[in-house]
Every structure is written in C-alpha cells, then in structure tokens.
Structure 1
Amino acid sequence: MGTVYAKEQFIEKNESFGSGKPRHLNLGTNDQEAEECTSGKKTIKLEGIQARVDKIHVDGLNRTKDDIVVETVSDLFKAQDFQQVLLGAHKVREKLDALGCFRNIGIYIDISSGPGATPHGLEVTFHVRELKRLMGGVNTMVGNNEGSLVVGLRAPNLLGRGEKVNFEYRYGSKRTTGIDIAFSKPLRGKWSPVFTTSVFQRGAEWPPSAYKQMDRGILLDLAFSSSSSVQHNLQWEGNYRDLSCLTRAAAFAVREQAGPTLKSSIRHIITADRRDAPIFPSKGGLFQLTTEFAGLGGNIGFLKNELMLQANVPLLEGIVIQGGVQGGLLTHLAGDKQVSICDRFFLGGPLNLRGFELRGAGPHSDGNALGADVYWAAAVHLYTPLPFRPGKGSLGDLFRTHVFFNCGNIGNFRFTEDYQRNFEQLANNLRSAYGLGVALRIGQVARLELNYCIPVRIAAGDRPCSGVQFGVGVNFL
C-alpha cells in the first residue's frame, strides 16, 4: 500500500504536469486504444489507462488528527486505473467534507516521483483549509409555514476528529421559540455513523387547536447510511411537555388535556432519496418511513407510523409530473398510558392538503381541531417553467408554475380484518381540492408557494380555504 503524508507542506511537481500549456482530453467511449477523430484530437477512454496511487498528501492540517484523515483517504489506494483514481478522489473529497472539519477542499493529481515511485504511479494531493475554532451568525430559517430568526454559535472540529458543539436560538413569526445545544461526533465505520446528543427547549402556539406547548428534553441520535442514498436515524427522546390553552374559549376537549406530560420514546427514521434535487426535482423518488414507540417511561404511550412517498417523471424539457402520498397510523397502548393532542395527526394547509386551512380537515370541537389517529393524503402536480421562459438560466430558474389536485381523509378509524370495510372508512368523507399557482425555490432547502385553490369535497366541520393560499416550508405534498 502507498503512503499518506498527512501534514505535507510542499509537493514536488513533475514538469510534464506542473508546467507548460494545459493538456485537454476529450473523453469518449471508444475502444481501449486511442482513436483519431476528424478534428485531429484523440479520444481516450480513462478506464483503459493504467494507474495506481503511490502517495497521498493532505496539505493544510493543523488541529485535525492524523488517524481520522488516514482512514478517510486510504480507500484511494485501491484504484487500478485512471478513471478509478478520479472517481475515488472525488469520493474522498466528499468524505473529507462530511467530517465537518474543512472548507475549500482542492484536489491535485501528479505523476509520482522520488523514492517508492512506480511506472504508472500517481501522487494525489488534497489541499484543505480548516474551519475556525468558533463560528457564529444570524440568519433566517423557513419551515412549518413560518419564518424564523436564528442566532447560532458553533465550535467545529472541537477535539480534532470532527466533533462539534452547536448552540442555536430561534424565534418564529408565529411566536414559536427554541433553544438547542447539541454535541455531535463522527464514529468510525463503513456506514459513516454520527452520534449526536442535544438538550432542547421549544415553545409553539397552535391557534387552530387553541393550545400552546412547551417542550423541554434530551434527544440522542445515531445517524448512518446503509448505502449512498439510504439514511437511517435511531433516536431516543425524553420530553417533558406542558400544554395550556391559548384562550378561555378553548373547547373542553382541548382544556381537559392541559397540563404536563412526560414522554419517553424510541424512533427509527429511514429515508431513501434518489431525486436529483430536493426542491423542484426533475426525476427520481423519495421514500421515508418514521416509526416511533412511546411508553418506555412517563405517562404517554403509543405506536406511531408515518409514511411519505414521492415520484417525479420528466415529460418534456422543464416539464415534470409529480405524484406524492402521505399516511399515518397511531395505535394506542393498553394500560394507563395516554395519548396527548400533540401526538395526533392533523391534516389541512398549504403543506399537505391545499384548499383547506391549517389543520382545517378532520375532527373539530367548538371550532378547535382535535387531530386523529389515522390520516392519508395524495397529490398530483404538473410543474412547468414560467410562461415564455423569462430569466432562463438565471432568476427565472427559481420559479415554477404548477397545476395540482390533492385529496385525503383523516379520522379515528378502527380497522378490522374486513379489508373492504377498512377501505370504505378511508374513502368516506373524502376531502379534495384543485388549483394552480407559482412556486419559488429558496436555496436548496425550502420553497414558497402562492396558489389559487378550489375545494371540491368538504366534510362537516372542516374549514376550507377557497381562493388564494400562501405557503412556505420544506416538505410539501
């Protein structure tokens, strides 16, 4: 195996690569031997070029420990041709970036020279810049149909092996607040595990249900990837929650649940994301399944499953048809464990069932949304660029127009072995709406929608939203 020089400060360059005019290669798919093209240039298949890595240099290290760097880059020595060297170097760069220790990672490949050089040997140099010891800032965050001001302070690469301490304070436009202090550490293993522990305090108000909620607790999270596109999160959460009524006119069904509760739960989240982009994808699909079991302690107990599916199919240039499905099932446990209103599912609003107010579909009491144990929702969208493509290649690419149809149902259904009856329960009192609108991409993390909605089917007690509806968030159905 070759040698890793973790703190190399000077790399000797061979004259044929380090000086003179740049060399240009047209990459093709011809046979192994180079074939002359009509232009006089050569097409070279990189897979047929013999190459191996003799040495790896990592330039710019200071606080980062050598052992974690060696483990990250050592797979590059397995390359057997020039194409594998290029692809392997790119993967190593992604792994170095995932450590959370560096910024501005550059890759340089040169002919091997000096002691230990082989006839087809190469030297690969990664030039890195370590993050500052203490970083902070003030920015904004979008989610749950509201905007938040975020004040953050973090200490990256605290002990030299990717450890990080993060402090964050959030204040939302809908009077939500949050304080999180988290410590995370990458662990060794082929699945790139990362362990995170955090303590938090979060407050939120829910006017459609006439209650406000304050959570204080601790969260332990182990994240790992079983493949390049499949992410797992194993979590334990201990949460002391205090519910109180927003107004004196809150429904009795809400007031009777006011007071403190203690939840101790374990959770597994599996996400398989093969979309080409998280916002406005043109192809690929998303699968996410969340399973939570509460009842290991405290007075809250349930088994909760929630599923999210999405598929994107390109039709013509810039035109994409998207289908999405969401569903959830909450099962009560036997005994003295209870389920709080904040544990139940809600449906309605611009993020899931457009054409209805936030939490506007489902069981209500005196005008307050109570949530339910079962829900499902589905949507079909046709996304197109702006008419006449204004600002193509620049600002115009941030916008999409879309027409949509969405439907769903929510209720406290009781399922049996009679599958026809179960299906009838899910189909009765179906809610649906259609419309059109404009969506704006905000970076690669969120989007904004302005839609004109027309509700079609409404159940008794629902709160439809006919006309213009505005939404901003991360996960839209």
Structure 2
Amino acid sequence: MGTVHCKGERDHYESDKGQSTEQKQINLDGVKARVDKIYVDGLSRTKDDIIIATVRDLFQAKDFQEVIVGAHKVRGKLEGLGCFRNIGIYIDTSSGPHATPEGVEVTFYVRELKRIVGGVSTLVGNNEGSLVVQMRLPNIFGRGEKLQTEYSYGSQKTSTFNLSFTKPLQGNLNPVFTGTVFQAGSEWPSSGYKQIERGLLLDFGFNSTPLVRHNLQWEGAWRDISCMSRSAAFQVREQTGPSLKSSVRHILTFDCRDAPILPTCGSLIKLTQEFAGLGGNIGFFKNDLCLQSNWTLLADMVVQATLQAGFLTRINNSQNVGICDQFFLGGPLSLRGFQARGVGPHKDGNALGANAYWSGGLHLFTPLPFSPGKGGLGDFFRTHLFVSAGNLDNVYLGKEMPTSFQTLMRTVRMAYGIGVALRLGQMGRIELNYCIPVLYRREDQPNHGVQFGIGVHFP
C-alpha cells in the first residue's frame, strides 16, 4: 500500500504551449507498474478521510494500463462526491527515497465548488417544461454533504418546492442518504381534480453490483384533492378532501444502456414496489415494472422494445386507495395515439384510472432522410417509426381474477405512426409524431393525427 497526500489549493493550471512534445504510440499491455504515492492537490475544506477512501483502490494496479484505467475510475468517484468542478490527472515516475523501480506517482488536481451555488434553469418531464430556481450549499461539512432548495413551475400549472439534505456514506456499495421536505401542486384536467401534497421523504440508496442500484424509501405525505369544476364526475368528487399516506418503497434499477436518452444499445430494468398503510388512512400494495432493450441493426439504425406493467391491490377494508394512487394510461409518455389518460374507465368525461395496466412498444430510430446537418445539429434528430399497444382495467382478486385478467390482456388498444425525435442533450427528448389509432373502445379518447411529447422516459 502506498501513501496518499492531500495538499492545499494552489495554481496548477499553467500553460505548456512553449514546450515541444514528441508523440509516440506505446503498447501499455504488460508494462509493469505500481502506484507508490497519490497526491490530491487543491483541497481546502474537503476532509482527508473521504478522499483516502475514494482513491485507495488505485493502489491495487499491477501494470500501467490498470493505473490509467484506475485513475479515470477514481476521477469518476471524485466527481460523484459533488465537491469538485474540475479534476485533472497527472502520472509521473516515482521519486524519492521510498520509490520503487516500477513505481509511479498519480496526482489529482481538483478545484472545489463554491460554498453557495445557484441558478435558474429549465427542466423537461411529464410532457411539460418547467422553470427551475435552485440554490445549493455543496460539501457543507467537508465529506460531500449537500443542502439544496428548489422551486419549479411547469407549463401545465404544476409547482413544486423542496428542501433536501444529501449525505454520502463511506463503503464499497456507494451508499447515499437523502432527506427531503417537499410540497407539490398539480392539476389533472383529464380526471377533473387538482392536488396539493406536502410531506417528508427519506431515501437510502446503494449499489449491490456496479450496474444494480437499490433505493429504500419511506414517505409520509398529506394530500388534499379538490375538484376543478362542478361538472366533475361523482366518482371524483367522493374522493375529494385530505388524506394521509405513510408508505415504504423499494426501487431496483439495472441500467446498462450507453445513454439515457435515445440509447443505441443496452437494457434497462426498473422495478418499483410500494407498501402504504403504516399509518394514515391510505393502504395498498403497488408494483410497477419497466423494461427496455436497444439493438443497433445497421449504421445509425436502432430498434427499441419496451414493456411496462403494474398492479395495485388494497390491503384492507379500513384504508382507502385514492384516485391519485391509481394507474393511468394514454398520452405521448404513456401510450401514443391516445390523449393523456385517455385509455380505460371514464365517467362523465373524467378518467378514473384502474389498478392494473400493461403497455408495450416497438420502435425504429434512423437518421433523417438524406442526412441533413450530419456532423452537427442533424445528429440530434432521429426519424421515428413505432407501434404501441396496451390496456388499463381493474383486476379483482379471488374468483373474478381469471375473468378480469383475461379482459385486461384481450381488450388491447393499439396505435402506430411515424415522426421525428429530437435529443435535448442528456436531459430529455422531444417527439412530434403522426399517430393512427387502430384499436380502441367507446369510452377511450384516441388522438388521430399529430401528437407532441416532451420528457425523459418514453414507453
């Protein structure tokens, strides 16, 4: 094991333009090397113990190739601490009385974030754009802690305010604890109600493998539902008023995609399980599964298959299930070719939701015809051909379960179409599709024609 040296801040960003360098290609496989010393230069308020725990794996390198790969992994870990804005790497031969013949010294040049960081930005999701005002205090106590407050207002009259504290913990599983106090307001015209939610969310996240992330959560929320108009359906009006939910939640995420937005290969598996009823008047057990796989067929031609499914059941007769806890289906972020919440049970024009759903899609993404703007702006656009199907209905346990399950699987809604997808960096994407619904029921609300969508996750 070598030595870790944590240095104070100084200027290491000098220009080397005056030095002439001769570039040679060297095969690094099999070139023996070991790390004698690691320097982390530029620290001011970050504590040494968290730095040592982050970089110590680099001492396990046995050749120069492993030193380079390990150094880049350590840089990723340092960036994940949320303490630094710039991280540079410098590798040199080891010197000094304790230097070994094959030893090297690795230096990380870092610049810590300011004590207060804030700004105004935009956010896309749930088929709307939002203006976000935030302020955060990074690295408060020197070990990656972060205090953040954020307010957002969306184009569909949604508003959120939250105050969160994040504490990274030491360990090989990358554990992180987060506590959030929040308030969220939203309107759902397709269901005829609006909602205000205030509560506390505690989250503990960790990795069981490098690609598998677990989040254990507890949420306590006070919700108040009110009608948007006097013409709301009776099934909506009877659920108005306050309710209290206390629930525990487990989220398992396996993500090996090469990019979260318009990936070209890899798969995503996300399973969310929630149990409500540990206090309050809301009680249910809810499961939600999301699957996605991507394959590159030819140059810049990607096939994507998606599948989503969910089931909710009441745990007892003394606790309720609110309309905001139900599943809904329809819209560009749910089932293309239908209006938002346009599939499933309706009453007086209001979507009521249901306790079970499934949806799937098959997509083909290709470059724009004749490749306009190739190598520039045109690379952000993709031609999009798709076929989507799904259903939403109530599935009852007991003797009626086989019949209701068969109804859920047989009464399929389906649509296909063509359009254009625009990637907004890695923060979201925009879709403009021409949709043709081919299978739907009388109570549904199909959307035949152009449909616009903006968000992060598309089915």
Q: TM-score, normalised on structure 2?
A: 0.96
What letter matches 1:6 in structure 2?
C
Deviation, structure 1 residue 115: 2.1
The answer for the alignment partner of 1:407 in structure 2 is 389
The answer for the alignment partner of 2:15 in structure 1 is none
The answer for the alignment partner of 2:218 in structure 1 is 236
The answer for the alignment partner of 1:468 in structure 2 is 450
The answer for the alignment partner of 1:63 in structure 2 is 45
Q: Per the alignment, do residues 423 and 334 of structure 1 end up closer, same or farther by CA in structure 2, a change over 3 Å counting?
A: closer
The answer for the alignment partner of 1:36 in structure 2 is none
What letter matches 1:82 in structure 2?
F
Q: Per the alignment, do residues 368 and 10 of structure 1 end up closer, same or farther by CA in structure 2, a change over 3 Å counting?
A: closer
Q: Per the alignment, do residues 97 and 161 of structure 1 end up closer, same or farther by CA in structure 2, a change over 3 Å counting?
A: same
Deviation, structure 1 residue 402: 1.0
The answer for the alignment partner of 2:249 in structure 1 is 267
Q: Distance in 2 between matches of 1:419 and 1:410?
A: 15
What letter matches 2:425 in structure 1?
G
SS across alignment from 2:242: strand
* CA deviation string 1:55-111 (max 9, x = no partner): 100010001001100110111111111111111101100110000000110000000
The answer for the alignment partner of 1:368 in structure 2 is 350
Deviation, structure 1 residue 24: 2.2
- Aligned residue runs from structure 1 range 308-319, under 5 A: 308-319=290-301
* CA deviation string 1:390-442 (max 9, x = no partner): 11121011111111000001100225589975652222321100000001011
Q: Distance in 2 between matches of 1:4 and 1:470?
A: 54
The answer for the alignment partner of 2:364 in structure 1 is 382
The answer for the alignment partner of 2:5 in structure 1 is 5
SS across alignment from 1:50: coil
- 1:74 has 2:63 as partner: no
- Would you say the 8 A contact 1:8–1:57 is kept in 2? no
- Would you say the 8 A contact 2:10–2:42 is kept in 1? no
Q: Distance in 1 between matches of 2:318 and 2:24?
A: 73
Q: Distance in 1 between matches of 2:287 and 2:397?
A: 15
Q: Distance in 2 between matches of 1:418 and 1:243?
A: 31
Q: TM-score, normalised on structure 1?
A: 0.93
- Aligned residue runs from structure 1 range 25-64, under 5 A: 25-26=25-26, 44=27, 46-64=28-46
Deviation, structure 1 residue 23: 3.8
The answer for the alignment partner of 1:127 in structure 2 is 109
The answer for the alignment partner of 2:179 in structure 1 is 197
What letter matches 1:59 in structure 2?
D
The answer for the alignment partner of 1:98 in structure 2 is 80
Q: Distance in 2 between matches of 1:246 and 1:165?
A: 36
- Aligned residue runs from structure 1 range 280-299, under 5 A: 280-299=262-281
- Aligned residue runs from structure 1 range 161-310, under 5 A: 161-310=143-292
* CA deviation string 1:335-367 (max 9, x = no partner): 301000000000000012100000000000101
Deviation, structure 1 residue 228: 1.7
What letter matches 1:4 in structure 2?
V
Percent of aligned positions that are identical:
61
* CA deviation string 1:240-259 (max 9, x = no partner): 00000000110000000000
- Would you say the 8 A contact 1:147–1:172 is kept in 2? yes
Q: Per the alignment, do residues 246 and 419 of structure 1 end up closer, same or farther by CA in structure 2, a change over 3 Å counting?
A: closer
Q: Per the alignment, do residues 185 and 22 of structure 1 end up closer, same or farther by CA in structure 2, a change over 3 Å counting?
A: farther
Q: Distance in 2 between matches of 1:81 and 1:407?
A: 52
Q: Distance in 2 between matches of 1:121 and 1:320?
A: 45
- Would you say the 8 A contact 1:137–1:151 is kept in 2? yes
Q: Per the alignment, do residues 419 and 253 of structure 1 end up closer, same or farther by CA in structure 2, a change over 3 Å counting?
A: closer
The answer for the alignment partner of 1:429 in structure 2 is 411
Q: Distance in 2 between matches of 1:379 and 1:416?
A: 31
Deviation, structure 1 residue 445: 1.9
- Would you say the 8 A contact 2:8–2:44 is kept in 1? no
Q: Distance in 2 between matches of 1:274 and 1:415?
A: 36
Deviation, structure 1 residue 278: 0.7
Q: Distance in 1 between matches of 2:66 and 2:11?
A: 22
What letter matches 2:104 in structure 1?
L
Q: Distance in 2 between matches of 1:23 and 1:126?
A: 23
Deviates more, 1:407-416 or 1:276-285: 407-416
What letter matches 2:288 in structure 1?
E
Structure 1: gaps of 5 or more residues = 13-17, 27-43
* CA deviation string 1:434-472 (max 9, x = no partner): 000001011102100000000001112100100000010
SS across alignment from 1:76: helix
Q: Per the alignment, do residues 362 and 11 of structure 1 end up closer, same or farther by CA in structure 2, a change over 3 Å counting?
A: closer
